[in-house]
Chain A
């Protein structure tokens, strides 16, 4: 594994904001696909999952950053996993205490936060190098980006698949729900469609930038 630059990052607005868009874990880095697709069948599930993941990200990030000088390099991945699993167990029991309905809806995917690549990726690439406060801020940014992505999927799937948003009916009685959207294929389709949209926006931007030089970008 390549050695990452070990400079200490200064705390700035960018530490938080880049998690929202430039390093958005779902849309840009394509990490954490499993929970993204599985629990985004309604907006409320999506947001709760996002918040639970944010808590684990922030908690484990802070602890790993605090312990970074004491964790031996050889066993770091195992140590990170154990720390992450501890926080996931806390979230698991907390959700069970707060709302049993939600617990049933999210099912095994709460415990599966342990194997969310976003969290381990952050631990390895950021928390193990940086001081406590920047780590906390960065984790919250990534968590917020994840929550936004989940909400983008969850709301579209809920609106199309059951005609509701947060359980409120949006359309009249004549609305025929597009049931496939809340079923597994819908998850793939909606995420694919979002990526298509972002690709299109990005390519259009590039084409505009290329246009003055007289080379059409689509002439391949």
Chain B
């Protein structure tokens, strides 16, 4: 895995193994904040930022823990770092854009429990990426997340005007749509190297 080139890592994370549609990470915000394009875009940016910071921090922590032979503390340390990063983003957004803060609502602090963030930290450790590779991986994952969110938001904005059967309104329909999107993304499967 060390030899993997940077563009390939990026493409893999963003499209081939899209975090949301192929690996089921970050489904909660995907279903929760995807009703408007603008909110979806801002959520995507916030997640990209958290991913980048926590990826860099996770790399440092892993190096430290491996040297101290304390690997069993990895999970606890990762989650602590992610929680503090999210807190930082929350304070930043609240200070500079109160309107955005309100529109993201409960989903902003919930980035802590966004599996995409912890998943990324765990995967980059598992794949033994170096520092630059980790950052590119984080960027790719964030781009993939934003892409999925935007696609979904676009579809749902259109859908708000369509007449759908009563019984399929709400989560059921959203899940079906996600299934179709996921099916479309499977078409990219041959594009990159296969990896977990």
Binding site for B on A (CB under 8 A): 30-31, 33-35, 37-38, 77-78, 81-82, 85-86, 88-89, 92-93, 107-108, 111-112, 114-117, 120, 180, 183-189, 191-193, 195-196, 199-200, 203, 218, 220
Contact = CB atoms under 8 A, between A and B. Distances in A.
Given A184-B182, A188-B178, A195-B175, A34 B24 contact: yes
Interface residues of B, number: 44
Contacts of A37: 24, 27
Contact of A78 (B21, B80, B113, B122): B80
A114 B75 CA distance: 9
B93 interface: no
B76 interface: yes
Contacts, number: 119
B25 interface: yes
A131 to B, nearest CB: 26
Contact of A192 (B25, B112, B179): B179
B106 to A, nearest CB: 9
A184 B186 contact: yes
Given A117-B113, A184-B182, A220 B24 contact: no
A184 B21 contact: yes
B176 A38 contact: no
A85 B79 contact: yes
A180 B122 CA distance: 27
Contacts of B172: 192-193, 195-196, 199
B191 to A, nearest CB: 16
A67 to B, nearest CB: 17
A117 B171 CA distance: 17
Given A37-B27, A112-B119, A185 B180 contact: yes
B79 to A, nearest CB: 5
B22 interface: yes
A82 to B, nearest CB: 6
